[in-house]
Amino acid sequence: MMMPYSFEPDADYAAQLDREDILARYRDEFYLKPDSIYLDGNSLGLLSKRAEQTLLESLADWRELGIDGWMEGNHPWFYLSEKLGELTAPLVGAAPEEVIVSGSTTVNLHQLVATFYKPEGKRTKILADELNFPSDIYALQSQLRIHGYDPDTYLIRVKSRDGRFLDEDDIIEAMTEEIALVVLPTVLYRSGQILDMERLTRAANDRGILIGFDGCHSIGAIPHAFSDWGVDFAYWCNYKHLNGGPGAVAGLYVNSKHFGTKPGLAGWFGSRKDKQFDMEHVLTPAETAGAYQIGTPHVLSLAPLLGSLEMFAEAGIQNIREKSLKINRYLMDLIEHELGDVGFKIGSPVEDFKRGGHVSLEHKEAARICKALKEKGIIPDFRAPNIVRLAPVALYTSYTDVWNAVQMLKEIMDNKLYEKFSNERGVVA
C-alpha cells in the first residue's frame, strides 16, 4: 500500500519528497549522466557501481585463473546461475530452487513452452493476448508450427476492449476446454497495466490448464508471489528494472510441483551438477529449475546481476514498490497540472494496484516529442504509434528529476519545439 500522499506542484515540494525518500541513498550508487534525466529504466536500467564491481571481479577471475574460474575465484562460474536464482527468488515469490538465471527471455519461453505445451484430445490451443510483446507471439507461433498446428487457428489472442488494457473476465472466458496452455504478461509493456495473476492462475488451475507469465516489465518493480499463487512457470529479462546490463542473462521460474518434468529442449547445463561431466549420452536432469538451462551461461553477462541484486536485497522490494507508486503518482499529478490542455492522455491505469513501474502518455505527436525531450537531456521511450513511456525508477530517479522533466516537457509543448522533428521512430525506439 502507498503511504499517504498529497500533491503540491512546486519545486520545493519535490525537494521535500526527496529529503523524505528512504531510498535516496541508492541514487549515488548509479552512473547518472550530468545534465540528463533518465526515464527509460523500463527498457534498459542504468549501470550501478556494484554491478560494475562484480563484473570486474569476474573479469579478474578469468584473467588470473583461466579455466579454474569455473570452480575457484570471487564468483565460481559453474554455480553462478544457481546463486543468482537464489538471489532473485525473493523478488518473484519463489523458493530458491524454483528459479534459475539462464538464457534469454525468448529462449526461455521456447524452453518452457516446449516443456509444458502438451496438446492432447481437444486441448490443443495456446491462449495469449493481442497486447503482448511481439517476441512472445513469435515464439508461440513457432512452437505451434513445430507441433504441426496453424498459428492462425491454434493461437488464441484475447482482444482488448480499448487498445490499452485487458479485462481478466475476457481472459477467463477464453479458457475453454480447447486450451492446453496460457501465456500472459504480468505487466503490459505499453500501458503498464498489471494483470491479476493470482485470479488468472486460480482460474486456469480450476480448468486443468497450465499457465505461465512474462515478467519482463514487473521483475524488480513490483512484488510477486508465484509459488503461493500456484503459477506453473514464468520467465523474464534482467536488464530493465533489475539493471543487469544490455543483453543480461534472463531468468525463469518453474513451480516445484513440476520438478522431474523432462525439459523440452535439453542441454548439458540442465544436468545434475555432479553428473554433468560424466559425459554420458543420457541426460540426468537437475532436480530443480536448473534442469531447464540449455547451454553454457554467459558469465560476463551474469556477473553484473550479483551487484545489482545485492542492492535489491538491501532496499527491499516492498520499499521499491512503495516509492515507485508514489513517484509515478506524482508524475501523473504533475502532468495533469502542467499539461492538461495540450493533447496528452494518460494511457496507464489510474488505480495504483493496477499500474506497474512506468507511465504511458498518449499524444498524436509522440515520436516528435520524444526526440525533442532527448535533445533537452530527458531520456524517454517511444512506442508506436502514439506512446511516450516515462519510467521513474525507485533506486535512482528523484522527485526533483520528475519535476524538472515535466517542466521541460511543458516548455517543449508551449513553444512547439517538437515541430522541427519528423513524427516517426528511429531504427531503435
Please tell me the distance from the alpha carbon of residue 91 to that of residue 221, in angstroms, as a whole number.
Answer: 9
Q: Provide the grid cell at 157.
A: 489472442
Omega before 385 within 30 of 0, i.e. cis: yes
Please tell me the distance from the alpha carbon of residue 126 to that of residue 133, in angstroms, as a whole number.
Answer: 16
Q: Provide the grid cell at 79.
A: 554455480
DSSP 8-state secondary structure symbol assigned to residue 132? S
Residue type, 87: L
Write out the binding residues for pyridoxal 5'-phosphate: 105-106, 133-136, 214, 217, 239, 268, 296
Write out the binding residues: 105-106, 133-136, 214, 217, 239, 268, 296
Strand partners, 129: 158
Residues 6+ positions from 238 with CB-CB distance below 8 Å: 88, 101, 219, 244, 248, 249, 250, 251, 305
Residue type, 15: A
Q: Provide the grid cell at 346.
A: 494518460
Torsion region of 103: left, alpha or beta (phi above 0 gives left; psi -120 to 50 gives alpha):
left
